[in-house]
Structure 1
Amino acid sequence: MSIRDLIPRDKHDLDSVCKLQQHSAVEIAEILPELFEWLQDINWPVSKELTKALPKYGNILIPHIERALRSGDPQWQFSMMQFFIRELPKETSLLVGDTIQRIADTPTQSEILEGIHLLARETLQIIGQKY
């Protein structure tokens, strides 16, 4: 089996997420960009399972979380802050605090329209970083 077989094939491929959990961070590192794409819409069943499975991998996730938060995609930002970052170990979540702070302090027009800046403020409080 190739590590690429752990990338969900469709939004209902929960079996791949179960298999993913049996692998180390080093083993799954190359497929993290594809796994994070599945977090763009939290309504997909596979997304909800990934928000539970991926946080255990800790700091290796930071560049991918940053990419999502800086994407300008309000739905992806929402998924990250409302569901994913809250599942991370505290020390890992604090590593993206500056990016969340930027969204809270100087949001883009899109982030304002979608209320992402308000979610950023709430997320900062949850992870224990002052707003």
Structure 2
Amino acid sequence: MENFGDLLPRHKHDHDRVEIIKRMDRDQILPLLPNLLEWIQDMNWPVAPSVLELLLTFPEEIVPHVQDVLSSDDENWKWFILNFLVIELSVESKVQFREYLTRVVETPTPNELAEELDEIARAILETI
């Protein structure tokens, strides 16, 4: 296999690379998932919706990588992850975030409040 970096999008308009990844075998895509998550740090990027579509085809496999993002200090990225990815996952996948979502609803940090993560967390909890 090529170097993972050679497979990933190179810029915010690199739809061709995403289409190549979509045609790869699932087993080949799995190692790319953490890096693909980085492409939905801002859903305004042109390539982000295509990457999101791809990520949603890995509802179970993406969970640990999403948990890594949710334990980071990047509240803006968390907002995009919750609003566009987690909310679209199956109940079986969403339930794995219950502890985090409950904590954000009950005791949000000032930064989480500023990004309104408590509101999206509440909305997601209502679906599980």
Quickly name the TM-score band, shorter chain normalised. Answer: 0.7 to 0.9
The answer to whether structure 1 residue 2 and structure 2 residue 2 are counterparts is yes
Secondary structure of 1:15's counterpart equals helix
Residue ranges of structure 2 left out of the alignment (5+ in a row): none
1:3 is displaced (CA, Å) by 6.2
CA distance 1:17–1:90, change in 2 (3 Å): farther
- Counterpart in 1 of 2:17? 16
The structure with more helix, counted as a fraction of residues: 1
Whole-angstrom CA distance in 2 between matches of 1:118 and 1:66: 18
Q: Who is 2:62 aligned against?
A: 61
Contact 1:42–1:79 (Cα < 8 Å) also in 2:
yes
Distance change >3 Å, CA 18–CA 95, structure 1 → 2 = same
In the alignment, the residues of structure 2 paired with residue 112 and residue 65 of structure 1 have an alpha-carbon distance, to the nearest angstrom, of 20
Identify unmatched segments of 5+ residues in structure 1: none
Query: CA offsets, 1:26-60, max 9 Å, x none?
Result: 21222222111111111111112111111111211
Partner deviation per Cα, 1:108-131 (whole Å, 9 max, x = no partner): 110012211111111222xx22xx
Distance across 1 between alignment mates of 2:31 and 2:62:
11
Q: Which residue of 1 aligns with 2:75?
A: 74
2:102 aligned with 1:101, yes or no?
Answer: yes
Greater than 3 Å deviation, 4+ residue runs: none
TM-score, normalisation: structure 1 = 0.85
RMSD over equivalenced CA pairs, Å: 1.8
Whichever residue aligns with residue 76 of structure 1, its letter is W
TM-score, normalised via structure 2 length? 0.87
Identity over the aligned pairs, expressed in percent? 33
